[in-house]
């Protein structure tokens, strides 16, 4: 059974969350949220997997710019919109969606998400099969 087809009879699969498997912060988030999201029908899959690369028509070596959610219906949602989508499906996290409903909040959250995503390797480090390392470049320098 592959990581994509793993399901249990008790859970209706709602979708897959594609994350950057080379991002230390992303990997920590996945470790902490896999159980919760799996119980709610979402599987976590690294962008660096063959299935994701084939499904999205991209190279495994291509760096993802944001987390992406693929629903079983084929809808793709990315970035903060994907996180809000996921929060709506987790009972204790629904309250986090309330501010997102206020006028003007989502555009601000999207900008903040993009800044954090663009700087994730510099802030938290990058991982590979050899382990994780933190970049010593400053936040203002390009990659």
C-alpha to C-alpha distance for 89 and 133, rounded to whole angstroms:
33
Give per-residue pLDDT as tens, 27-78.
999 999 999 999 999 999 999 999 998 888 888 888 889 999 999 999 999 9
- Is residue 52 within 8 A of residue 22, CB to CB? The reply is no
Cα–Cα nearest to 98, from 89, 107, 87: 87
- Is residue 43 within 8 A of residue 3, CB to CB? The reply is yes
Determine the average pLDDT of the residues in 101-111: 95
- At 20, the pLDDT band (50, 70, 90 cuts) reads very high
Determine the average pLDDT of the residues in 80-103: 92
Whole-model pTM over 0.85: no
Cα distances (Å, whole numbers) of residue 80 to 9, 61, 143? 30, 23, 22
- What's phi and psi for 2, nearest 5 deg? -90, 170
């Amino acid at each position: 059974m592959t990581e994509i087809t793993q399901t249990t009879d008790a859970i209706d699969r709602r979708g897959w969350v594609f994350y950057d498997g080379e991002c230390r912060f992303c990997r920590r988030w996945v470790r902490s949220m896999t159980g919760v999201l799996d119980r709610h029908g979402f599987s976590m899959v690294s962008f660096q997997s063959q299935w994701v690369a084939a499904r999205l028509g991209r190279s495994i070596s291509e760096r993802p710019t944001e987390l992406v959610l693929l629903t079983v219906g084929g809808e793709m949602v990315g970035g903060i919109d994907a996180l809000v989508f996921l929060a709506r499906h987790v009972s204790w996290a629904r309250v986090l969606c309330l501010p997102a409903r206020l006028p003007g909040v989502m555009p601000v959250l999207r900008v903040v998400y993009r800044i954090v995503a663009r700087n994730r390797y510099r802030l938290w480090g990058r991982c590979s099969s050899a382990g994780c390392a933190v970049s010593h470049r400053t936040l203002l320098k390009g990659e």
